[in-house]
Chain A
């Protein structure tokens, strides 16, 4: 009997894990396709179309156009987090997390595969949100919302998707039960996203609250994506890029140490 050649242990396990993550989220299409479509439609209908028609922004773009990049990024970040965290927590529960520890897969391979898996789901949901938003935008404005800087948009989506997938991984290894995972999502993640400038321009805030908002890294991720779409941003795009990049690195390092210290034994 011959075992696998060590040279195959670099990329094959890594891509297998990514494939598994993608297949997993594609099997729950109600969560990954239908739910974001409905959520995006509701936000666009209530905030974009209904309330948005009464809101004037100093930047000169319509409120609906302002809202769309934020919703795309919100969907991406939320789902990147959900993907890696739920994958780990479910695996802890079912016991198949032990398979990863026993198999010849390194922590780096697990970390990056989970990150890329989360990014795929985040980008996929971001795309679904954009498709829905474009329909709303077309019926409201009579044209399709273009993308001013596609490369910049892609970079911010990659940074955001990876960063939140790493955060999901750390949270899932830290959590001792489903409640703790839900608590992080409800009490930390969602407030940061909602206060990160998805629905409003931080320019419109009181200077004190503007300074507080500047401490929220989500402001930079969301404004980076908004700059990619519209060419406008509440913060300097270079500063947004730097903060987003640093946040991603910090969350990567946190995830690495979480994984190193983590228990893979089933709940």
Chain B
């Protein structure tokens, strides 16, 4: 079966600067895939190459089996993108913008879909307004409506919640989960790693144009972070905190640390966080000499 997105040996340079350095990536149908990394790591450059906004220096990109370059039009028709920056269409109303966007993707009468999205994204009553009359959150929602108006099978979200308040962020993430249920494959870049941990089935961490880790979200966390063990002993009011290696069995840990299980009233184990995993990984890559230092 054709992969929603297949990136093979992608390189992108801007003059002497290598923004993307031999990236290979393969998305599975219906998954939410997180592309994480610091600013300038190459995330937006990869997305720009996928949507043909930038021309790759070398390498190959396929969208549902259609090669970008050979069958660009067919490939493009299957993708929707929410860009990092809001686009300000000066002349047109929200409704007109979505009508034109539908037309660009070959759909001449798309009233039903446009109205569905306007309701879904709480923009219906603002449909006659122009972009400059909208709040920051509404502008973001408009970008999402634009990306979805042609029912893409692959959705690229490039920092879609940058500068958006908590309530709207939560609403948008629920919306993304709903899209996943409808079979849409999502490639997401975000700085909100807590949310990426909740949402993403798999994540890749990119640093200086190279993918330095790619795994299922939970596997990556387990492989790179410790677990926190909290134990409440008989006769004590407070919990005592221990740090446990990922993958280490509880019984083995208790035995190694000479903790008598019969003395335990209550215990809980917390998994590590994606943020800690990413920070550790980037720290190891950027400062190899200090890689053995413990991270909070």
| A contact set with B: CB distance below 8 Å | 1-9, 12-13, 15-17, 19-20, 23-24, 27-28, 90, 94-96, 98-106, 264-266
Contact = CB atoms under 8 A, between A and B. Distances in A.
B149 to A, nearest CB: 10
Nearest to A4: B106
B89 A1 contact: no
What 7 pairs between A and B have smallest CB-CB spacing? A16-B103, A8-B106, A103-B104, A4-B106, A104-B76, A95-B87, A104-B73
A258 to B, nearest CB: 16
B83 interface: yes
Given A9-B77, A95-B83, 8 more contacts: A4-B105, A9-B74, A13-B105, A94-B87, A96-B88, A98-B83, A99-B146, A102-B52
B270 to A, nearest CB: 37
Nearest to B147: A102
Contacts of B79: 102
Interface residues of B, number: 39
Interface in B74-92: 74, 76-79, 81, 83, 85-92
Q: A-side binding surface: helix, strand, loop or mixed?
A: helix
A15 B103 CA distance: 8
Interface string B80-122: 0101011111111000100011111111100000000000000
B51 interface: yes
A99 B101 contact: yes
A4 B77 contact: yes
B73 A2 contact: no
A123 B89 CA distance: 25
Residue among B78, B86, B107 with most chain A CB within 10 A: B107
Nearest to B99: A16
From B88, B104, B152, name the one whose CB has the most chain A CB atoms within 10 angstroms: B104
A96 B90 CA distance: 9
Interface string B166-191: 00000000000000001110000000
A13 B88 contact: no
Interface in B135-182: 146, 150-153, 182
27 contacts: A1-B184, A6-B77, A8-B106, A9-B73, A9-B74, A9-B77, A12-B103, A12-B106, A12-B108, A15-B103, A17-B104, A20-B100, A20-B103, A23-B91, A24-B92, A95-B85, A95-B87, A96-B89, A99-B104, A101-B51, A102-B53, A103-B76, A103-B105, A104-B72, A104-B74, A104-B76, A106-B73
